[in-house]
Amino acid sequence: MKIITIVGARPQFVKAAVVSRALSKVSDIEELIVHTGQHHDANMSDVFFDEMEIPKPTFNLGIHGLGHGAMTGQMLEGLEAIYRDQKPDRVLVYGDTNSTLAGALAAAKMHIPVAHVEAGLRSFNMKMPEEINRILTDRISDLLFCPTQTAIDNLSKEGYPFAENKVILSGDVMQDAAMYYAQTSAAKSTIIEKLKLRDFVLCTLHRAENTDDLSRLKSIIDSLSEIHNAIPVVLPLHPRTQKIVKEAGFHLPFTVIDPVGYFDMIEMLKHCSLVMTDSGGLQKEAFFFSKHCITLRDETEWVELVQGGFNKLAGADFSKILLSFDEMRNKKSDFSVNLYGGGKSSEKIVNELH
């Protein structure tokens, strides 16, 4: 059996790594990895693949830095040629990027079965390109691997499973990854000693809805500045957002650092007191490492974290963020509840694929 896995962003490589590790234990499955190039990441050097124990891509399309239409169109063209040449039995896609949609759509047009990992997630915000990608990818996939019961419920409300779909509660492969890499992250990261971090809030900020809206961005920065007076705030910030902040003349009195690698992020999650983020992945990773989270968005795909009291939606509202901080800072919760499969998701996925 030949499987082609499509990835285009660093988080997808991390997710694919744990599933690839499980696939490699099955003797009659051959996996080829295609990197679309969507997120051109200078940190994804040979060292990245070696340290993360990730198989290097067989193909790299090198498509990045384009608008949605051009990017998705070029990916469709490139992937179609690879599928035609390699004749896979199945295509495996992850998440909700343009690479996800292109990988699934090119396969569906060629009548190649598609498996979607992280199916059924919904923010119910159609202004997000990710929401469009995930809805369309789900509809043309035959195997829908849902990380949570909420995701299954979302699909059920939309009429799934149709005759051509199978919906599976697989758990979340990101928990598999977090548990696996947490064993070695301390030996591979020096960020805690380097920044002399002790009691601190870990914050990330990258969503266009926040960074491209200066009123939202200023409100978030003002709230982080206020929180920084009570506890140090550390913010790994993408150069693009740093540029926006500089051009707007916003003052950041807290600790701003360049984006960090996965091992550094795990160590920061282990040692921080609280997480504040607009990232979907980091909301879950906070939970994996028993940390409460304040989400700087108006909605989240991970509603079970909000329902369980592990996560608080604050949006970009100054007062709401500060109230959420006061509520979550010293909150006690039972993080032992199994929301995401307990690190067995990759095995479940491979069993269904085989």
The pLDDT, as a whole number, for residue 45 is 59
The pLDDT, as a whole number, for residue 41 is 66
The pLDDT, as a whole number, for residue 38 is 86
Give the chain's domains with CATH numbers.
2-170 (3.40.50.2000), 185-328 (3.40.50.2000)
Angle at 145 between CA 142 and CA 148, to 5 degrees: 145
Q: What is the pLDDT along the chain (354 residues), one digit of tens a residue?
A: 999 999 998 889 989 999 999 999 999 999 999 999 987 766 665 667 788 888 889 999 999 889 999 999 999 999 999 999 999 999 999 999 999 999 999 999 999 999 999 999 998 989 889 999 999 999 999 999 999 999 999 999 999 999 999 999 999 999 999 999 999 999 999 999 999 999 999 999 998 899 999 999 999 999 999 999 999 999 999 888 999 999 999 999 999 999 898 899 999 999 999 999 999 889 999 999 999 999 999 999 899 999 999 999 999 999 999 999 999 999 999 999 999 999 999 999 999 998
The catalytically annotated residue of 35, 40, 116, 206 is: 206
The pLDDT, as a whole number, for residue 9 is 86
The pLDDT, as a whole number, for residue 329 is 94
Helix axes 10-23, 345-353, angle to 10 degrees: 60
Instruction: Find all residues with CB under 8 Å of 242, minimum gap 6, and list them.
Output: 256
Q: Is 64 a catalytic residue?
A: no
The three-state (H, E, C) secondary structure of 183-248, written as one string? CCHHHHCCHHHHCCCCCCEEEECCCHHHHCCHHHHHHHHHHHHHHHCCCCEEEECCHHHHHHHHHH
End-to-end CA distance of the chain: 8
The pLDDT, as a whole number, for residue 44 is 60
The pLDDT, as a whole number, for residue 315 is 97
